[in-house]
Structure 1
Amino acid sequence: MKFTKSMKKTSIHIFIVWAFFSCGQGQNKEFVLETGNLEFSIPINDLASSNPGMISIYDSDSGEHVMIYNHVIKKLQISEFPSGKLKLNIPLEFENEKRNKRFTGGTLIARDSIFVTFFPPSIGMINFEGALMYEEKLPDANYSVSHIGNGSMIPLFKSHGRIYGAQPFLMDHHRMTQEDIQKQQLVYSVSLEGDSSAWHDVFYDAAYWDQGKKLSYFSWAKRGSLIYISPFYDHQIQVFDTKTNKIVEVKEVKSKHVEKFNIVNELPGNEDESVMATLESSQYETFLYDKYRDIFYRMILPAFPSDQKYDIEKLRLMERSRPVTGIMVLDHELNVLTEHIFGPYEIHSSDNFLVGKDGLYVSTNNMNRPDFSDDQMRYKLLKFTASD
Structure 2
Amino acid sequence: MPTLFLNDISVLKKVSVLCFILFTVSCENNLEYPLGKDPQYNIEILPIEGTLKLPVDSTTSNISSYLAYYHNRLNESAYLVSVNTFMNELQFFDLTTGQQSFSLPIEMNGNKGIDAVSAVDVINLDSIIVFPSQGNNIYIIDSSNQKFTNIDYQASLGYSNASPSMLFFSSNPYLEDQKLYVKTLFETNFRTISNTALSEIHLGYSVDLITGQVIDLPHFYPPDYFAEGMKHFDFSASITENGFVYSFFGDHDLYFSNNQDEKLRKVYGKSKYLDEDLPLFPADGDRLDRAMYLSIMDHYGNLIYDRYREVYYRFCYPSLEKSQINEMKEVLDNLQNPRQFSIQIFDRELNIVGETLFERNKKYLPKNAFVGKERLYISTKHSENEENEENEFSFDLFKMKKLD
- 1:325 counterpart residue number: 341
Aligned partners of 1:97 and 1:164: how far apart in 2?
26
Contact 2:58/2:391 (<8 A) preserved: no
How far apart are the structure 1 equivalents of 2:345 and 2:192? 37
Which position in structure 1 is the counterpart of 2:150? Answer: 134
CA distance in 2, matches of 1:165, 1:37: 36
Structure 2 CA distance, aligned partners of 1:387 and 1:262? Answer: 32
CA deviation after TM superposition for structure 1 residue 135, in Å: 1.2
* Paired residues for 1:297-312 under 5 Å: 297-308=313-324, 311-312=327-328
Cα 1:223/1:71, change in 2 over 3 Å: closer
**Conservation of the 8 A alpha-carbon contact between 2:164 and 2:183:** yes
* Matched letter for residue 161 of structure 1: Q
Tell me which amino acid in the other structure corresponds to 1:72: F
Match of 1:124 among 128, 139, 142: 139
Is residue 2:263 matched to residue 1:274? no
The structure 2 residue matched to 1:66, chosen from 80, 92, 95, is 80
Instruction: Answer whether contact 1:46 1:73 (CA < 8 A) is retained.
Output: no
Q: How big is the shift at 1:76?
A: 1.2
Q: 1:181 to 1:82 in 2, by over 3 A?
A: farther
Please state if 1:245 is matched with 2:257: no
2:45, 2:356 within 8 Å by CA — same for their partners in 1? no
Work out whether residues 123 and 138 of structure 1, in 8 Å CA contact, stay in contact via their aligned partners in 2.
Answer: no
Could you give the per-residue CA deviations for residues 283-328 of structure 1, whole angstroms, max 9, x where no partner exists?
1111111122111111111111231466533332211111111101
Task: State the AA in 1 paired with 2:164.
Answer: N
Matched, 1:204 2:221: yes
- C-alpha spacing 1:159/1:266, structure 2 compared with 1 (3 Å): same
What amino acid does structure 2 have at the position aligned with 1:117?
F
Does the alignment pair 1:54 with 2:66?
yes
Change (3 A) 1:30 1:150: closer
In the other structure, the counterpart of 1:343 is 359
The CA distance in 2 between the partners of 1:221 and 1:122, in whole Å, is: 22
CA, structure 1 residues 314+386, in 2 after alignment: closer, same or farther (shift >3 Å)?
closer
- Is the deviation greater in 332-341 or in 191-200? 191-200
Distance change >3 Å, CA 88–CA 197, structure 1 → 2: same
Aligned residue for 2:52? Answer: 40
Deviations 1:28-80 (A, max 9, x none): 99755333232233322343222212012221225221011111211111111
Which structure carries more strand by proportion?
A: 1
Correspondent of 2:189 among 162, 167, 172 = 172
- Mapped to 2, the partners of 1:133 and 1:33 lie a distance apart of 41
- Structure 1 residue aligned with 2:381, among 355, 365, 386? 365
> Equivalent residue of 1:278, what SS?
helix
| Shift in alpha-carbon separation, 1:34–1:349, aligned structure 2, 3 A | closer
Aligned counterparts of 2:112 and 2:172: Cα–Cα separation in 1: 23
2:198: which partner in 1?
Answer: 181
- Residues 1:230 and 2:244 are matched in the alignment: no
Deviates more, 1:376-385 or 1:261-270: 261-270
Higher relative contact order (CA 8 A, sep 6+): 2
SS of the residue 1:246 aligns to: coil
Q: Distance in 1 between matches of 2:96 and 2:367?
A: 17
Q: Structure 1 residue 155 and structure 2 residue 172: aligned? A: yes
Secondary structure of the structure 1 residue equivalent to 2:398 = strand
**Structure 1 contact 363–378 (Cα < 8 Å) conserved:** yes
Q: CA deviation at 1:345?
A: 2.1
Cα deviation, residue 253, structure 1: 0.9
DSSP 3-state at the match of 1:108: strand
Match of 1:190 in 2: 207
Give a deviation string over 1:160-180, Cα, whole Å, max 9, x none: 331000126674212312121
1:213 deviates by 0.8
Kindly provide the CA deviation profile for residues 219-278 of structure 1, in whole angstroms up to 9, marking residues without a partner as x: 222442512222232122222333x522253212111122354533537533x3332222
CA shift, 1:349, in A, is 4.0
Q: Could you tell me which amino acid in structure 1 is paired with residue 137 of structure 2?
A: S
With structure 1 as the length reference, what TM-score do the two structures score?
0.82
Which residue identity lines up with residue 220 of structure 1 in the other structure? Answer: A
**Identity between Structure 1 and Structure 2 (%):** 19
Match of 1:96 in 2: 110
Query: How many angstroms apart in 2 are the aligned matches of 1:190 and 1:309?
Result: 44
CA RMSD of aligned residues (A): 2.9
Q: Give the distance between the partners of 1:218 and 1:326, measured in 2 at CA.
A: 17
Looking at structure 2, the residues matched to 102 and 171 of structure 1 have their Cα atoms a distance apart, in angstroms, of 24
Q: Which stretch shows the higher mean deviation, 144-153 or 158-167?
A: 144-153
Q: 1 CA distance for matches of 2:190 and 2:159? A: 12
> How many matched pairs?
357
Of 367-376 and 91-100, the range deviating more from structure 2: 91-100
CA separation of 1:103 and 1:71: change in aligned 2, threshold 3 A: closer
Q: Distance between the aligned counterparts of 1:319 and 1:33, measured in 2?
A: 23
Look up the SS of the partner of 2:294 in the other structure: helix
Q: 1:168 to 1:322 in 2, by over 3 A?
A: farther
Could you tell me which of 306, 310, 313 is aligned with 1:294? 310
